[in-house]
Structure formats: structure tokens, C-alpha cells
């Protein structure tokens, strides 16, 4: 059986790759970060679709048995197109639906004024996919979960530059959150691959009652359940993880280590 293909606009999706490796230690990963074209968060839906489908095809042609769209901007703008190009036999796991579904699984008394906050890139927020996924589940479950969302575009670049665990992301976050827009939410979605690195800072800037969700762990669990359901979990001990990027620079090498949490070798692969 082939590896699990995981892709992102860059190296932020390594937070999801890390969670997948931790949860599924006998699976091999083929990661692709489109560093030549990031940030997707500022691109048009058309361009995000063009890049995402090209990468998805590359992963399928490389023998991947499942695809994880480990980028909120790509999940929000190109999921349908990615599913179309990979075909019905390869499962595609995105960042949006597992997170939204987990909100309904974890809250017992949904329906009585529950609300959830969302921060992410412009492309993610303006796509409206989180909203439509929530509206759909509200209808199915006959509840009224409300979504409050706001783009926080400066945050990903600050984190990518290595500013986390310090005052800079807190100052950036404060600028976006200080008006109390999210103070009444019950939970908060970190709708960008980079934000798990500043989860602590988000927690400290919101009221204590707000549950700040950790998306990589939830998406990794959704991946595991999907592989189990399809009977395509690997039982081999020997794994081979590969990490590809479309543009390899020293800065990306450093960043990759930060996002994945340990040293990895990146190889440059240019897709045509
Ligand atoms: N990976 C992107 C996301 O999760 C953030 C970086 C970008 O804008 O490309 O939305």
C-alpha cells in the first residue's frame, strides 16, 4: 500500500503531518509543500484550485493511497476540484469538515446560543466553507451553532518568520482580537496550519471559558478513521517519510524543523 499524501501551500501543513505521524506510526507520509507559490491565503480561488489539483495529481501519480489537504486555504477553495482529479477510489481528508464535525460531537447542549469563532487567512474566511459546513450540520441536527469569523492575515507570516513563543504573535493577535469580537464564543477554531504554534497565545488572549481547538490532532484522527473504515491502514513496521517542496531555501529548511518538531530532509520537486 502506498503512502499518505499530505499537502499544503508551504511548510505549515507539517503540523498536520506531525500529528499524522504520531497517531499512525506505521504509515509512510509523502508531504508536498508548495513553497514556490505560498501564501495561498492571498490568492484567488481559481489560482488555489490550479495549484491544489496539480499537487493532488502528483501525489496520486506517486502512489498515495489517501490525500490530506493540510491547508485551510486549499481545503476551503479547492476541495471539490481535488476530489474530482483524484477520483472516487482515493479518500480526501480536508481541514474544515473534521473540525466542524468535532464541534457537534463534543458539545452536548448545542442549540442554546452556542457559538464558535474562526480565524484564518482571507482565502479561508471569504470562501464561506466553514459557514456552509456548519449550516448544513445545523440543519441535519436541528441545532443553531453560530459562527463568528475574522481574517487574521498577518499572523501566518509572523509565525513563518519564526516569531512564536514571544511578544510579536501576541501583539499581532491582540490587534485582531482586542475589540472583544470573540469574547462570547464557546470555542475557537484555529483555521490556519500555522496557528497551532501560537495556540498558547490565543488561549491567553481569550476568556478562560473559550475552548481553543487543536486542528492537527482532529484531522489526524479523521484520517485514521477513514483508513480504518476503508481497510487500508498499513500494518508494516517499515515506514518511509518523504518531504518535498516546490522551492527549497535555507529559510524553509529552518521553518520545516519548527513546524514538524524535529529535523527532516526536504527535497525540491518542481511540478509542471
Ligand atoms: N497553509 C495556509 C492555510 O492553512 C496558510 C499559509 C498560506 O496562506 O499559504 O490557510
Same domain, 163 and 206: yes
Same domain, 207 and 263: no
Q: Of 214, 232, 252, which closes a domain?
A: 214
134 backbone dihedrals φ, ψ, rounded to 5°: -70, -45
Distance between Cα 113 and ligand 1 center (Å): 30
Same domain, 127 and 80: no
From 17, 30, 55, 71, the catalytic residue: 71
Distance between Cα 112 and ligand 1 center (Å): 33
**How many domains does one find in the chain?**
2
Whose CA is closest to atom 7 on ligand 1? Answer: 39
DSSP category for residue 36: T
Same domain, 69 and 130: no
Residue 52: its pLDDT value, please?
98
Reported as a single tens digit per residue, the pLDDT across 216-272 is 999 999 999 999 999 999 987 668 899 999 999 998 999 999 899 988 999 999 998
Alpha-carbon gap, residue 45 to 23, rounded angstroms: 32
Q: Of 194, 214, 234, which closes a domain?
A: 214
Residues at CB less than 6 angstroms from ligand 1: 8-10, 12, 38-41, 71-73, 120-121, 124, 156, 192-194
Q: Of 190, 214, 238, which closes a domain?
A: 214
Same domain, 22 and 64: yes
pLDDT confidence bin for 110, thresholds 50/70/90: low
Reported as a single tens digit per residue, the pLDDT across 44-75 is 999 999 999 999 999 999 999 999 999 999 99
Distance between Cα 237 and ligand 1 center (Å): 32
Same domain, 142 and 249: no
CATH code, domain with 179:
3.40.50.1860
Per the annotation, the verdict on 71 as an active-site residue is: yes
Reported as a single tens digit per residue, the pLDDT across 118-148 is 999 999 999 999 999 999 999 998 888 999 9
Whose CA is closest to atom 2 on ligand 1? Answer: 71
Distance between Cα 141 and ligand 1 center (Å): 31
Report the nearest atom of ligand 1 relative to the CA of 73.
10
Same domain, 48 and 66: yes
Same domain, 85 and 220: yes
Residue 112: its pLDDT value, please?
54
Distance between Cα 193 and ligand 1 center (Å): 6
Give the residue from 15, 41, 9 showing the smallest Cα distance to 29.
15
Q: Which of 12, 33, 120, 246 to mutate to test the pocket of ligand 1 (most atoms within 8 A of CB)?
A: 12
Reported as a single tens digit per residue, the pLDDT across 168-223 is 989 999 999 999 999 999 999 999 999 999 999 999 999 999 999 989 999 999 99
Same domain, 57 and 108: no
Domain with 138, as residue range(s), is 97-214
Give the residue from 119, 192, 184, 174 showing the smallest Cα distance to 151.
119
Q: What average pLDDT does range 35-48 have in this prediction?
A: 97
Residue 166: its pLDDT value, please?
76
Same domain, 244 and 184: no
Same domain, 210 and 228: no
Report the nearest atom of ligand 1 relative to the CA of 38.
9
pTM for this entry:
0.96
Count of H-run helices and E-run strands, the chain? 11, 10
Same domain, 90 and 102: no
From 29, 86, 133, 192, the catalytic residue: 192
Quickly count: other Cβ atoms within 10 Å of residue 58's Cβ: 19
Q: Is the pLDDT of residue 162 over 70?
A: yes
Q: Which of 6-15, 70-79, 98-107, 196-205 has the lowest mean pLDDT?
A: 98-107
| Cβ neighbours of residue 128 closer than 8 Å, sequence gap 6 or more | none
Report the nearest atom of ligand 1 relative to the CA of 42.
8
Given 3-state DSSP classes, what are the helix, strand and coil percentages for the chain, each rounded to the nearest 5? 50, 15, 35
Residue 109: its pLDDT value, please?
59
Amino acid at each position: 500500500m502506498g503512502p499518505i499524501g499530505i499537502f499544503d501551500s508551504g511548510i505549515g501543513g507539517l503540523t498536520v503531518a506531525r500529528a499524522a505521524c504520531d497517531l499512525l506510526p506505521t504509515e509512510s507520509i509523502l508531504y508536498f509543500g508548495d513553497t514556490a507559490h505560498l501564501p495561498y491565503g492571498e490568492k484567488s480561488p481559481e489560482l488555489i484550485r490550479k495549484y491544489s489539483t496539480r499537487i493532488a495529481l502528483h501525489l496520486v501519480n506517486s502512489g498515495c493511497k489517501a490525500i490530506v489537504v493540510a491547508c485551510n486555504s486549499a481545503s476551503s477553495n479547492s476541495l471539490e476540484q481535488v476530489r474530482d482529479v483524484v477520483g472516487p477510489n482515493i479518500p480526501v481528508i480536508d481541514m474544515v469538515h473534521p473540525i466542524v464535525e468535532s464541534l457537534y460531537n463534543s458539545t452536548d447542549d448545542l442549540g442554546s446560543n452556542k457559538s464558535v469563532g474562526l480565524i484564518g487567512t482571507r482565502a479561508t474566511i471569504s470562501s464561506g466553507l466553514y459557514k456552509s459546513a456548519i449550516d448544513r450540520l445545523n440543519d441535519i441536527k436541528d441545532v443553531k451553532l453560530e459562527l463568528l469569523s475574522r481574517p487574521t492575515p498577518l499572523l501566518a507570516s509572523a509565525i513563518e518568520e519564526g516569531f512564536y513563543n514571544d511578544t510579536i504573535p501576541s501583539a499581532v493577535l491582540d490587534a485582531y482580537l482586542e475589540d472583544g469580537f470573540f469574547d462570547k464564543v464557546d470555542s475557537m477554531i484555529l483555521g490556519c496550519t500555522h496557528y497551532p504554534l501560537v495556540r498558547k497565545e490565543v488561549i491567553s488572549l481569550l476568556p478562560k471559558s473559550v475552548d481553543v481547538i487543536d486542528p492537527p490532532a482532529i484531522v489526524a484522527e479523521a484520517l485514521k478513521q477513514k483508513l480504518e473504515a476503508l481497510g487500508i491502514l498499513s500494518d508494516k513496521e517499515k515506514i518511509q517519510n518523504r518531504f518535498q517542496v516546490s522551492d527549497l531555501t535555507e529559510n524553509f529548511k529552518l521553518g520545516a524543523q519548527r513546524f514538524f518538531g524535529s529535523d527532516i530532509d526536504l527535497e525540491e520537486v518542481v511540478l509542471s
